[in-house]
């Protein structure tokens, strides 16, 4: 719940991590059902700080896409029903725009133009927000999203879901030079499938005697070494990609947003690399998925374009700001 688009009145996150961890990754049908079960309680909790409850709400924003279609439909239908029954304006917001606006939300004086590196389970995009609502994608991944690569590598190492925090924990204080992984350098693009495959081969090359029945290295130091090497390689590629975009655009302000921006090695590397620029990396609770960032992007969209009509579609592949 935001006041005037920027002050967070409440932010309620219902995590499904425990539900999906049992399965080693997100199960789409379970995710949609869990949305259905928890949505009403989450909305009630978000409204709790408002003295007038729903009467104090002026507008609604909801994620339009991209994402798992079952989850998007549950959210959009709930929001559209609430808007219709209370006569409130509603806007459907791109998930990507939400992540970009988490930086605007995090730093009071942070206004466009800025570059945002959006790094999550579904995105690895460098976006230039020239002015509110006017965005251009400068670079994107050719294959896996970086968060997806963290999750897959963690799985190969026998670490729990979600993989990002697990890899960060295993990598802490470990020399990243023990296992050499290839560094991918692309112009105006990212790629993570090469390093993921290299991890697979590095594990295989240990030989069957050093792997357990799941094919996971038995030796904890090996797991930690590979985790550290992968993390360093991934962070290095992200920072280089962002630096290229800064050079090309002459940007003076950069933000790193999305779930992977919670990574402490990435946060440290970005702060160090872009010392002369204004750098915003939101607090952890605004990096991973949250409703406040969707409300912030929705608030701007409402000012610019007015409300959407009820019955607007969800779009699991939507990747732009429109």
In the complex, the residues that contact ligand KG4 under the rule CB under 6 A are 120-122, 147, 150-151, 162-165, 168, 258-260, 262-263, 288-289
What residues does 171 pair with on adjacent strands? none
The entry of Zn ion, ligand KG4, none near residue 168 (CB within 5 to 8 angstroms by kind) is: ligand KG4
Query: Residues binding Zn ion: what is the number (CB under 5 A)?
Result: 2
94 in contact with Zn ion (CB under 5 A)? no
Q: Do the beta carbons of residue 253 and residue 281 sit within 8 Å?
A: no
If the CB atoms of residues 170 and 289 are measured against Zn ion, the closer one turns out to be 289
Applying CB under 5 A, the span of 33-41, 191-199, 229-237, 285-293 interacting with Zn ion comes to: 285-293
Tell me which residues in 117-136 interact with Zn ion (CB under 5 A).
120
Closest contact distance (angstroms) between CB of 207 and ligand KG4 is: 29
Q: Which of 289, 293, 294, 295 binds Zn ion (CB under 5 A)?
A: 289
The entry of Zn ion, ligand KG4, none near residue 98 (CB within 5 to 8 angstroms by kind) is: none
Q: Do the beta carbons of residue 320 and residue 294 sit within 8 Å?
A: no
Residue in the structure block whose two tokens are 């009509």: 309
In Å, how far are 22, 91, 144, 267, 322 from 304, measured between CA atoms?
A: 43, 11, 33, 32, 11
The entry of Zn ion, ligand KG4, none near residue 165 (CB within 5 to 8 angstroms by kind) is: ligand KG4
Closest contact distance (angstroms) between CB of 114 and ligand KG4 is: 19
Closest contact distance (angstroms) between CB of 144 and ligand KG4 is: 10
E strand residue ranges, the chain = 2-3, 7-8, 60-65, 90-94, 114-119, 124-131, 134-141, 189-190, 253-257, 278-280
Residue in the structure block whose two tokens are 């009820």: 310
Q: How far apart are CA 228 and CA 94, in angstroms?
A: 33
Question: Residue 66, preceding bond cis, omega within 30 degrees?
Answer: yes
Closest contact distance (angstroms) between CB of 92 and Zn ion is: 16
If the CB atoms of residues 46 and 266 are measured against ligand KG4, the closer one turns out to be 266
- Which of 144, 158, 152 is closest to 26 using CA atoms? 152
Name the residues that contact Zn ion, by CB under 5 A: 120, 289
């Amino acid at each position: 719940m935001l006041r005037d688009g920027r002050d967070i009145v409440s932010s309620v996150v219902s995590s499904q991590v425990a539900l999906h961890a049992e399965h080693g990754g997100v199960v789409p049908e379970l995710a949609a059902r869990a949305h259905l079960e928890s949505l009403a309680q989450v909305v009630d909790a978000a409204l709790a700080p408002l003295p007038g409850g729903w009467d104090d709400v002026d507008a609604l924003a909801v994620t339009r896409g991209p994402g798992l279609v079952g989850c998007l439909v549950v959210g959009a239908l709930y929001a559209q029903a609430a808007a219709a029954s209370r006569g409130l304006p509603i806007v459907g917001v791109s998930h990507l725009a939400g992540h970009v606006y988490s930086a605007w939300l995090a730093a009071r004086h942070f206004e466009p133009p800025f570059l945002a590196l959006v790094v999550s389970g579904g995105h690895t995009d460098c976006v230039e927000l020239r002015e509110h609502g006017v965005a251009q994608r400068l670079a994107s991944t050719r294959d896996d999203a970086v968060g997806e690569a963290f999750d897959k590598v963690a799985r190969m190492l026998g670490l729990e879901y979600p993989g990002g925090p697990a890899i960060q924990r295993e990598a802490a204080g470990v020399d990243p030079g023990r296992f050499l992984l290839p560094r991918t350098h692309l112009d105006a693009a990212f790629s993570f499938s090469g390093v993921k495959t290299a991890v697979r081969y590095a594990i295989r090359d240990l030989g069957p005697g050093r792997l357990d029945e799941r094919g996971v290295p038995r030796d904890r130091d090996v797991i930690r070494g590979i985790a550290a090497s992968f993390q360093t390689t991934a962070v290095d590629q992200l920072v280089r990609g962002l630096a290229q975009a800064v050079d090309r655009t002459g940007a003076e302000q950069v933000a790193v947003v999305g779930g992977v921006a919670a990574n402490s090695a990435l946060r440290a590397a970005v702060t160090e690399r872009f010392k002369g620029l204004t750098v915003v990396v939101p607090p952890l609770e605004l990096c991973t998925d949250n409703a406040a960032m969707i409300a912030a992007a929705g608030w701007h969209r409402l000012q610019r374009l007015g409300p959407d009509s009820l019955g607007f579609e969800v779009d699991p592949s939507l990747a732009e700001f429109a």
